[in-house]
Chains A and B, each alone.
Chain A
């Protein structure tokens, strides 16, 4: 089943659907957490506070989002602001307008990682589970095999096959993006 677009998800959240809110949190939880812990290197305690504050702000202000398709950059912006506020409170320093290059580079890397997760979501459930467990949860072949009821000896080949499919999707996505960019330029 195709996942809801961000715009449809926003509309359903604004209609008060709990399942849509759950999906929104699920969809962006890794992203918010990664920005806080990897780009801004917040402590676990600060990262948790930022995480909860970001989702509380999203909940409170979702109806102010002018372009629902811009949900992701809006959440990124809210997360950056919360992280900067947290660092400012900790160091009592005035925040700078431009972020250090190192932070920007990590955020760029996370944007690319988010794109990969979107494409991962289009693979079979088995591929999603195998790749997520191996790469994101750092599980061993044995643990993955037990969890998914698969022979451990087949996990490596499944990872390789699923990675191949993910690569095809990512490269196919680039072809579509390049074609639409060419059409725009004409």
Chain B
């Protein structure tokens, strides 16, 4: 049977510090961010003026929807609107 001494357990606990809270929050907000992207893509399909404005400044569009304009999300939105 494997024996654990308390020093070793402490070492293993120290090996898993929390990830920065902002990283965790951004990942947890992913479903909402994706839903916002879907909504923006839908609107862009129906409204060409909105589509042009969106492509001109995707970051601003995400911020206006209350979504942090992370690079991966900006790329995703650009790809989907450009399709």
List residues of chain A with CB under 8 Å of any chain B CB: 16, 18, 21-22, 25-26, 29-34, 38, 48-49, 51-53, 55-56, 59, 109-110, 112-114, 116-117, 120, 131-132, 135-138, 160, 163-164, 166-167, 170-171, 174-175, 178
Given the contacts A53-B72, A56-B30, A56-B72, A112 and B18 also touching, CB distance less than 8 Å: no
Give chain B residues whose Cβ lies under 8 Å from the Cβ of A18.
Answer: 31-32
A21 lies within 8 A of B12 (CB): no
Q: Which of B1-56 contact A (CB under 8 A)?
A: 1-6, 9-10, 12-20, 23-24, 26-28, 30-32, 34
Partner of A52, one of B12, B14, B26: B26
Decide: B15 and A163 in contact? CB cutoff 8 A: no
Contact indicator A51/B4 (Cβ below 8 Å): no
Please tell me if B70 contacts chain A, counting CB pairs below 8 Å.
yes
Q: Give the residue of B3, B10, B16, B19 whose beta carbon is less than 8 angstroms from that of A114.
A: B16
B27 lies within 8 A of A136 (CB)? no
Q: List 20 A-B contacts (CB under 8 A).
A: A16-B31, A18-B32, A29-B24, A30-B18, A38-B15, A53-B72, A55-B27, A109-B15, A110-B15, A113-B12, A113-B15, A114-B16, A116-B12, A116-B16, A132-B13, A137-B18, A160-B6, A167-B6, A170-B2, A174-B2
Which residues of chain B have C-beta atoms less than 8 A from A132's C-beta?
13
Interface size on B (CB < 8 Å)? Answer: 29
Tell me if A136 and B1 are in contact (CB < 8 A). Answer: no
Contacts of A34 in B (CB 8 A): 15-17
Give chain A nearest CB distance to B5 CB in angstroms: 8
Contact with A along B55-82 (1 / 0, CB 8 A): 0000000000000001110000000000
- Measured between beta carbons, the chain A residues less than 8 angstroms from B34 are 59
A166 to B5 CA separation, bound complex (whole angstroms): 10
Asked if A26 and B14 sit within 8 Å, CB to CB, the answer is no
B7 CB to nearest chain A CB (Å): 9
